[in-house]
Amino acid sequence: MKQGTLIRGIGSFYTVREEQGTEYTLRCKKKFRREKKTPLVGDEVLFTPGTGEEHGWVECILERKNEFIRPPVSNITQLVLVLAPVPETDFLLADRMIARAFSQGIKVVIAVNKADMDSGMAGRVREQYAAAGIPVISVSAASGDGLDELKELLKGETSCLAGQSGAGKSSLLNAMLGLQRETGEISERINRGKNTTRTVELLEKDGIRIMDTAGFNLLEPEKGLDPKELKERYPEFLPYEGKCRFRECLHNREPGCAVYQAAEEGLVSKERLERYRVLLDETRAEWENRYQ
Ligand SMILES: Nc1nc2c(ncn2[C@@H]2O[C@H](COP(=O)(O)OP(=O)(O)OP(=O)(O)O)[C@@H](O)[C@H]2O)c(=O)[nH]1
Ligand SMILES: [Mg+2]
Ligand SMILES: [Zn+2]
């Protein structure tokens, strides 16, 4: 048996790459379906290669360091969230993704793309995320601005590009790595009602390992999350933990809340705190219905 990384899956066929770079087309044994295991791009797998024209088989998925359902990837070390002035950024969606990454110990970087259209956006986004320790960089796939800085952050990591459809994930890859991935006009996209990128792919070039994914505009509330644990996913709240009047403070308008105070003083972003409350309400509703 050989070992490799799953780099792409189309229909019931998977492409696995050995460390030396050889690629194999494989299918999955039926037992995976019985065990309700779906291979994800990023998986380390053991496989038997096919012979001649015959495809081979994925035999076993090695233990994952982490996994996402949306986008469906595994074993990443860094999430690169791509935001842009168009389509308009849904910051609640961004915060949901960030919270999920932090819950799995995955680093987050925000790339604010299309700086050629709005050079001030990155600065405004940075104000919201600086306290959380998230690097925010201004980039433009069109002009090339900021791409070297972004590449620097990608070195030594297995990154996953994520963000709304049309934000420019594939365009950034093309500009950074000299690829020719399909990109799509936003107006045509709305007409088609579809993503330009439809499948996840792990790309490796110039020592950079990065996944391109299909954008999405909705992320369902997380099931089975204890509302008390949501605040742990906000690094900027941590310095104030234990400083609120109530020991069990959820930083949700309780009297004497140190996080609220910090937001009033501009040490924590008010927008982030407001959206945290929205997510908290939602997490509570899910939690109360968890046995239904
Ligand atoms: N002005 C400008 N347009 C850009 C930039 N980057 C991407 N675009 C345009 O934005 C549109 C969407 O780009 P894509 O790269 O296809 O977006 P995507 O995030 O990969 O979208 P999905 O694959 O559907 O998730 C295309 O028309 C690009 O030409 C940029 O830096 N500036
Ligand atoms: Mg794309
Ligand atoms: Zn509090």
Q: What is the band of 220 on the pLDDT scale with cuts at 50, 70, 90?
A: confident
Q: What is the pLDDT of residue 189?
A: 58
Residue 281, sorted as left (phi over 0), alpha (psi -120 to 50) or beta, turns out to be alpha
Residue nearest to atom 2 of ligand 1 (CA): 114
Among the bound ligands, the one closest to the CA of 183: 1
In tens, the pLDDT along 33-83 reads: 788 888 999 999 999 999 888 999 999 999 999 999 889 999 999 999 999
Q: What is the pLDDT of residue 80?
A: 98
Fold of domain 227-288: Ribonucleotide Reductase Protein R1; domain 1 (1.10.40)
CB within 5 A of ion ligand 2: which residues? 169-170, 196-197
- Domain chopping of the chain, boundaries: 2-62, 68-212, 227-288
- CB of 173 shorter than 6 A to ligand 1: no
275-288 mean pLDDT: 96
Q: What is the band of 217 on the pLDDT scale with cuts at 50, 70, 90?
A: confident
In tens, the pLDDT along 130-187 reads: 999 999 999 999 999 999 999 999 999 999 999 999 999 999 999 999 999 999 887 6
**pLDDT at position 292 over 90:** no
Q: How many Å is the Cα radius of gyration of the chain?
A: 21
Fold of domain 68-212: Rossmann fold (3.40.50)
Taking CA 274 as the corner, what is the angle to CA 272 and CA 277, rounded to the nearest 5 degrees? 110
In tens, the pLDDT along 81-125 reads: 999 999 999 999 999 999 999 999 999 999 999 999 999 999 999
**pLDDT at position 191 over 70:** no
Q: How far apart are CA 67 and CA 153, in angstroms?
A: 21
- CB of 113 shorter than 6 A to ligand 1: yes
Among the bound ligands, the one closest to the CA of 251: 3
Q: What is the pLDDT of residue 160?
A: 98
The CATH-assigned architecture of domain 2-62 is: Beta Barrel (2.40)
Q: What is the pLDDT of residue 39?
A: 93
The pairing of strands 158-162 and 107-112 is unpaired
Q: What is the pLDDT of residue 35?
A: 82
